[in-house]
Structure 1
């Protein structure tokens, strides 16, 4: 288990690796929520749910059964918690966690927070009796915290809605509550899940365009390298008010892309989407499931491929 000092040192390393490679907007590697008990999701759910007041994280056998009957998440059999009273921030402290990263990296970083919709889908509700009310309450708790974050960019991460496009309007409303509370660059990341290289959610970007257009964000961070080409075509319908971020590195496989591969992916996307639509290139999702030796080379290829496309090399 990391000490505060080793966590600070690891954050320095993670940010510096990205900056040395030429990444414009690095992250802290989400080390702020590192959880040895949940390495498969890097604390993406439990870090946010466990500290909240109004939620009990000790879950009994019958509650496991009730959650399974809800069929909200086919890949999760146990709820992250049981909602027993009005939600509050409890001991969740995103502000302190962001400050830790900023203290060693400066403010020019991206800080990531799991979407309220994805979090709400993991809960067994025994209090609100209505999913939308639960969702709004959760979004407002997160908004209260992100309002005080002092960093360049906030990224909301959502990996569940791609498989549930019918919930787009309610998810967008909740995500927007969180986005509206932040004063800097606002990004939303979507992927179809990644557990040991496996896609979790079925669906396509075409079914999500209306939902994407509802978001009050500055740019999107989208999984595309591991997706069929038809998904790229669908993004032509995304409003020009939102800058597109294009996944050009596949995080579900070990083979390392070459700079030529990356440049070709950017060129294909630019031709498909039109001039000025692409503002960012990035990996499809997080790198945490890949070996460090693979990750370092993929980051290097990402930047070299971008520069090759831009004619900088």
Structure 2
């Protein structure tokens, strides 16, 4: 099934992971993770219009850069994970717990210089206080807007159940696995809403499969299977090392191949990898089995724009392990904080590098 070309996953189709530039006229970047609406700059009376304008700008930027598969840049969302809490019952977002989980990889050096407020908000955890259930779609209107505006195949992302659980404080469930699967059942409804809206490719974001691998190894696979039940569109799972805005230096992690081994055994279409910033090498890709591979080739911590020849060489090397029909050049994740000019130039370099690789193969 995974070698079959899907709309949006044609050979060497280019894309971003999910988020694109969040303009400063739209958002206060330091307030990501808040629940009081202070992330948004526009007044409530014009906020919906501003978010639609930002989403349309993201779509147009991706299409003008030449990407084959486009998102709305996650412009409607303050944060990729917390956005979905609004669709769930059983969570208290008024009284938050201050806690953080240790990174298990040992491969990331955080640099919080000038990011004190951003990091402080990220530590705050809404509390699970009663049975978790789905209240209604958080993204259906976003999906329909994307489909109406995009001229190319579309992709939308959703936070994974395990990752969302790590961003909550569980005051109700005695067994974490029970809570994770309750989240997975609820988020399955959200994925179904995206699927029914006609989104071409769906993606589950699960960075905690890597960052908190010990528990993910026991319950992560079942959570993914539960989330994708009944979904007709191809599903990708994205796993990374965290945002480059904070995690400036990333080295090879011995846990990352183990994560890919888990994903390779699941009934999903593909795996989205962070690849460029940690300087991964092609041998890693053998752990992806026969899945489509969305390959991150733009280092978002680097201010310089990648040379198209570099991108082409990285694709060529990867294609020795994963055939081009299942290989999809992309950015690493988290473009939301980048200056627009840099982000656009990086996307253009990605497309140019893909085209040079294609030309060399012709």
TM-score range, shorter chain: 0.7 to 0.9
Between the aligned partners of 2:58 and 2:128, the Cα distance in structure 1 is: 35
Match of 1:122? 167
In structure 1, list runs of 5 or more residues that go unmatched. 36-42
> Residue 210 of structure 1 aligns with which residue?
261
Match of 1:233 in 2: 283
Distance 1:229 1:145, change over 3 A: closer
TM-score relative to the length of structure 1: 0.85
State the SS of the aligned residue for 1:32: coil
- Structure 2 CA distance for aligned equivalents of residues 199 and 139 of structure 1: 31
Contact kept? 1:73, 1:122, Cα under 8 Å: no
Aligned to 1:54: 90
Distance 1:31 1:295 in 2: 15
In structure 2, C-alpha distance between the alignment counterparts of 1:174 and 1:107, rounded to whole Å: 31
2:210 counterpart residue number: 162
Shift in alpha-carbon separation, 1:261–1:137, aligned structure 2, 3 A: same
CA distance in 2, matches of 1:239, 1:154: 20
How far does residue 44 in structure 1 lie from its aligned partner after superposition?
A: 1.9
Over 3 Å counting, the alpha-carbon distance change for 1:116 and 1:260 in structure 2 is same
Q: Which moved more, 1:95-104 or 1:279-288?
A: 95-104
Q: Which residue of 2 aligns with 1:81?
A: 126
SS of the aligned residue for 2:172 comes to coil
CA distance in structure 2 between the partners assigned to 1:276 and 1:298 by the alignment: 21
Q: Which structure has the higher relative contact order (CA within 8 Å, separation 6+)?
A: 2
Deviation of residue 73 (structure 1)? 6.5
* Deviation digits for residues 17-72 of structure 1 (CA, Å, limit 9, x no counterpart): 21122111111001121x2xxxxxxx122212245211101225xx43xx45xx46
Q: Does 1:148 align with 2:197?
A: no
Correspondent of 1:269 among 318, 334, 352:
318
1:1-313 correspondence to structure 2 within 5 Å: 1=42, 3-33=47-77, 35=78, 43-59=79-95, 63-64=97-98, 67=99, 71=101, 78-90=123-135, 92-105=137-150, 108-149=153-194, 150=197, 151-166=199-214, 167-198=216-247, 203-204=253-254, 205-230=256-281, 232-240=282-290, 242-271=291-320, 273-276=321-324, 278-311=326-359
Question: How many Å separate the matches in 2 of 1:144 and 1:32?
Answer: 19
Query: Is the CA contact (8 Å cut-off) linking 1:50 and 1:80 kept in structure 2?
Result: no
Deviation of 1:229 after TM superposition, in Å, equals: 3.6
Q: Over aligned residues, Cα RMSD in angstroms?
A: 2.5
* Structure 2, unaligned runs of 5 or more: 1-41, 105-118
Structure 1's 258 and 276: CA in aligned 2 closer, same or farther, altered over 3 A?
closer
TM-score computed with the length of structure 2 as normaliser: 0.75
> Does the CA-based 8 Å contact 1:223-1:246 persist in structure 2?
yes
2:217 is paired with a residue of what secondary structure? helix
Distance 1:93 1:181 in 2: 19
CA–CA distance in 1 between the matches of 2:75 and 2:193?
20
Q: Distance in 2 between matches of 1:287 and 1:100?
A: 21
Question: What count of residue pairs does the alignment treat as equivalent?
Answer: 296
CA change 1:107–1:283 in 2 (3 A) is closer
Equivalent position SS for 1:127: coil
